[in-house]
Amino acid sequence: MEKKFFNRILYGGDYNPNQWPKDIWEEDMRIFKKAGINSATINVFSWAKIQPSEEEYYFEELDEIVEMLSKYKYDIILATSTAALPAWLVKRYPEVARTDYEGRHHKFGQRHNACPNSLVYQKFASKLAGTLAERYGSNPHVTCWHINNEYGGECYCENCEKAFRVWLKKRYKTIEALNQAWNLEFWGHTIYEWDEVVLPNALSEGIGSDKTAFAGISIDYRRFNSDSMLENYKMERDAIRKFDSHTPITTNLMGTYKNLDYFKWAKEMDLISWDNYPSYNTPLSYTAMCHDLMRGLKDGQPFMLMEQTPSQQNWQPYNSLKRPGKMRAQSYQTLAHGADTIQFFQLRRSIGACEKFHGAVIEHVGHENTRVFREVMELGKELQGLGEEILGSTINSKVGIIFDWENYWALEYTSGPNKDLKYVDQIHQYYQYFYNKNIPVDIISVDSDLSKYEVVVAPVLYMMKAGLAERITAFVENGGQFVTTFMSGIVNESDNVYLGGYPGPLREIAGIWVEEIDALAPEQKNGVEFHDGNAYTCQLLCDIIHLEGAETVASYKEDFYGDTPAITKNSFGQGKVWYVGTQVEQAGIAHLFNQVIAETNVKPICSNGEGLEITQRDTADASYYFVINQNTKKQLLPEELIGKLNLLTGEVVNEVVELGQFDVLLLK
């Protein structure tokens, strides 16, 4: 199967002309062209339109849209439209709607509303995908299939309950294995038949909206739910492949979205696409981390930005405008972290329903004489000017940070020790160090090849599945620096504790034993002090650590465990294991990691670049440097980068340049 990957930066977005009379369509073509737009995502929520009933399809209007876009040589990202059920389908087959966590079976409404285990849904969705592929797959302008949309949510209906039992039987084989995996002796939950299993929601094991009496059950439910939706995706993919063997297939993901194990999904996707919607106060480093995570899903392969807003969102509590220049800077940040497309939601703004206050390339005013359009157009021209530059280039990094959805679920299901512990926040805290330093980072899975990294960071590696400890051990033996933290090495993949002392399978290589884990309430603080006298506050959790070969890097300042180790390092083989026993403030993390990378070849992309966001993408022939000033304060371009060609202006940068807020240089 030969895949058509993109030979230009796709620049465009979601396009839904059905709402408008045809004279508007031609106007759209003119305006898009003016903006340098070269692609459109269509048919995202058109199921009810293109299939008016169980017995008939109606493709005339879609045909017209496809023809028009083809005529103007747009790349078409064709969605399968299965993310919102038609009303007639729910009316005729109520089972296609979901049952929620509260146990309430839903009626028709909203979107992302199909029960993934409904055979009726499966039948109609796969048939639609196949029919679309048959009809449009051979169109050379159809550049990419977009299956469904933002898969997510969960269902607790009877169909899902039955499917869950089948899934479990496949995973555990015997009732005995299931009883043991879920530790069902606890609270007398031992079962004797598969159909004694019920879904874990507010009517069974759920405690409040986000805790559970049996994390083992609830984690398996999340695995099952992620798999169920992945099966939906694969079903549509396979239906498309019957008629179209060569067009890349994707679905748009959502960064750190909790419910789906995106590393597992990525294996089934030709390319990764995602929707980037920072709110007005989202840290820039958080967005960068999400990009790196999305790039990491397929081992560094360039990804698609499927959605961002030209300016305003509608569903945040406070939907600020993007300040002048910010959309451009955000777009280059996206490319800088590995994307090869920039797509907007949406090209023309809807006149009604809940997203009508969401920004668009063409606003309600209907013409192009707007600030937002001008910024879109300026960016479009720049991107056109790049030609095939940067396409397919990749980021090379010596640092990997482990992100694991199953661990994410498991950690946040724990009852105790501290309810404020959040997985993504922990990952982000460590990511920030590298972001601030302009050190490239890969976000990797627990299955990734560690040998290509010099430093691997695994914050709160609470759940350690079989084989992971061995692979980490090998990494360290071979000279790697491995950094982990409190709440690591605690449980196996069934959420049962590794007995024999924390951090379980990491105990030997970390050279420590964690005897106790103290929980601090928000008003409580402790501190850590390094050998050089530098001290930082810490909070949340404090491990009480016994050295078993490791040495102390920093000690607690107070409480009955004052002066005992808070951060340790242990030489093991050719490498070292660093253990951070408490949540240290950001400056303390930096102080620590300066020591960690001092033992390696890990370096910033260039010196004196702090305050700027600088990344590097490489091809076999060239290196591209993205330099962005995201801060209000002016920043100077680092001297190392002087003398390079700025691809955005076509001029060589010959002297020190001052970058104002949102200024961008793309140097070669």
Q: Which residues are annotated as a binding site for substrate?
A: 111, 149, 315
**Cβ atoms of residues 514 and 489 within 8 Å:** no
**Cα separation, 484 vs 427, whole angstroms:** 11
The minimum distance between CB 264 and a copy of itself, in angstroms, equals: 23
Query: Please, is 58 exposed, middle or buried when counting C-beta atoms within 10 Å of its C-beta (0-12, 13-18, 19+)?
Result: middle
Paired residues of 570 in beta bridges: 577
Contact 485, 336 (CB under 8 A): no
Residue 239 neighbours by CB under 8 Å, 6+ apart: 126, 127, 129, 130, 133
Q: Which stretch binds a copy of itself (CB under 8 A): 104-112, 297-305, 472-480, 604-612?
A: 104-112
Pick from 48, 386, 636, 657 the residue near a copy of itself by CB under 8 A. 48
Question: Residues 496-535 vs a copy of itself: string with x where CB under 8 A?
Answer: xxxxxxx----------x-xxxxxxxx-------------
Closest approach, Cβ 511 to a copy of itself, in A, equals 16
Contact 554, 528 (CB under 8 A): yes
**Distance of alpha carbon 637 from alpha carbon 327, whole angstroms:** 21
Nearer to a copy of itself by Cβ, of 420 and 639: the residue is: 420
CA 9/CA 342 separation, integer angstroms: 7
Candidates 166, 354, 622, 652; binder of a copy of itself (CB under 8 A) is 354
Q: Please state the residue numbers annotated as binding site.
A: 111, 115, 149, 155, 157, 160, 315
Site for a copy of itself in 260-289 (CB under 8 A): 280-281
DSSP assignment, residue 451?
G
Residue 277: C-alpha distances to residues 102, 269, 284 (Å): 28, 22, 12
205 catalytically annotated: no
> For residue 162, which of 224, 97, 89 has the smallest C-alpha distance?
224
| Sites for a copy of itself among residues 203-262 (CB under 8 A) | 203-207, 211-216
DSSP state of 352: S
Alpha-helical segments (H) within 468-585: 468-477, 507-510
The pair of three-digit structure tokens given for residue 600, joined into one six-digit string = 């390696």
Among 154, 236, 307, 613, the active-site one is 307
Annotated binding site for Zn(2+): 115, 155, 157, 160
Q: Which of 8, 33, 34, 106 binds a copy of itself (CB under 8 A)?
A: 106
Q: Is 551 a catalytic site residue?
A: no
Contact between residue 53 and residue 387 where contact means Cβ atoms under 8 Å apart? no
| Residues, the chain | 668
DSSP element (H, E) containing 222? helix 215-241
> x/- binding map, residues 603-642, to a copy of itself, per CB under 8 A?
----------------------------------------
Window 394-423: contact mask with a copy of itself (x via CB under 8 A): --------------------xxxxxxx---
Nearest CB to a copy of itself, comparing residues 168 and 544 = 544
In contact, 278 and 425? CB cutoff 8 Å: no
Tally of CA atoms within 13 A in the half-sphere of 220 that contains its CB: 28
Of 88 and 257, nearer to a copy of itself (C-beta) is 88
**Contacting a copy of itself (CB under 8 A), which of 357, 387, 610, 649?**
357
Among 3, 4, 26, 53, binds a copy of itself (CB under 8 A): 53
CB of 22 to a copy of itself, least distance (A): 14
For residue 566, the minimal CB distance to a copy of itself (Å) is 15
- Can you tell me which of 176, 186, 246, 610 binds a copy of itself, judged by CB under 8 A? 186
Nearest approach, Cβ of residue 481 and a copy of itself (Å): 27
Strand-pairing partners, residue 441, are 399
Q: Which of residues 554-593 bind a copy of itself (CB under 8 A)?
A: 559-560
State which residue, 206 or 480, has the beta carbon closest to a copy of itself.
206
The piece of 101-109, 222-230, 377-385, 399-407 that touches a copy of itself (CB under 8 A) is 101-109
Tally Cβ neighbours within 10 Å of residue 658.
10
Tell me which residue of 321, 323, 363, 329 sits closest to 346, measured CA to CA: 363
Catalytic residue among 150, 363, 375, 406: 150
Considering only 188, 208, 533, 650, the residue that binds a copy of itself (CB under 8 A) is: 188
Out of 71, 111, 246, 634, point to the residue binding a copy of itself (CB under 8 A): 111
Asked if residue 278 has a cis previous peptide bond (ω within 30° of 0), the answer is no
Window 283-322: residues binding a copy of itself (CB under 8 A): 311-321
d(CA 470, CA 449): 12
Indicate the residue among 53 and 174 with the shorter CB distance to a copy of itself: 53
- The least distance separating a copy of itself from the CB of residue 243, rounded to whole angstroms, comes to 22
Separation between Cα atoms, residue 286 and residue 424, nearest integer Å: 10
How far apart are alpha carbons 637 and 630 in whole angstroms?
13
Among 73, 242, 356, 668, which residue interacts with a copy of itself (rule: CB under 8 A)? 356
Task: Assess 652 for contact with a copy of itself (CB under 8 A).
Answer: no
Q: Tell me whether residue 77 or residue 443 sits nearer to a copy of itself (CB atom).
A: 77
- Restricted to residues 8-47, the positions that interact with a copy of itself (CB under 8 A) are 16, 18-19, 45-47
Given the complex with a copy of itself, which of 3 and 323 has the nearer CB atom? 323
H/E stretch holding 49: helix 47-50
Any residues with CB less than 8 A from the CB of 481 and at least 6 apart, and which?
454, 455, 456, 575, 576, 578, 596, 597, 599, 600
Residues noted as catalytic: 150, 307
